[in-house]
Amino acid sequence: MSGRLIVSLSPPAPKTTKSSFSLRALSPIVKFADTAKVEGHAHLVRDLKSQAIINTDSDAYARYMARKRAQKHRNDALREVIRDVNELKIEMRAIKEQLIELSNGR
């Protein structure tokens, strides 16, 4: 499936004679833009209004999002381990202080 999705509140631009591609709507406020294929690149199109090059490979985007989710989970796990270590440090200081108090009280 080739195409791209533009989210916009402005009225759609007038149609040109170039081919128009579209992706499934992900938002209720969606406008499909006129695009032209980029020669030699199956998943690249040029937005004729802004001249931007757009990658339309939805599988690559899904892989990217999966990598981002996995990295977020790794970061969350690391933050949790750091929190646990810091908690243990605080508890060890408290135990150390209590032991010093007990040994000084004799």
User: Residue 81 domain-assigned?
Assistant: no
User: Residue 21 domain-assigned?
Assistant: yes
**What are the tens digits of pLDDT across the range 27-61?**
333 344 688 899 999 899 998 889 999 989 999 99
Q: Residue 62 — pLDDT band, cuts 50, 70, 90?
A: very high
The tally of domains found in the chain comes to: 1
Domain of residue 52 covers 1-56
> What is the C-alpha to C-alpha distance for residues 101 and 97, in angstroms, rounded to an integer?
6
CB–CB of 45/38 below 8 Å? yes
CB–CB of 65/52 below 8 Å? no
User: Residue 105 domain-assigned?
Assistant: no
CB–CB of 58/1 below 8 Å? yes
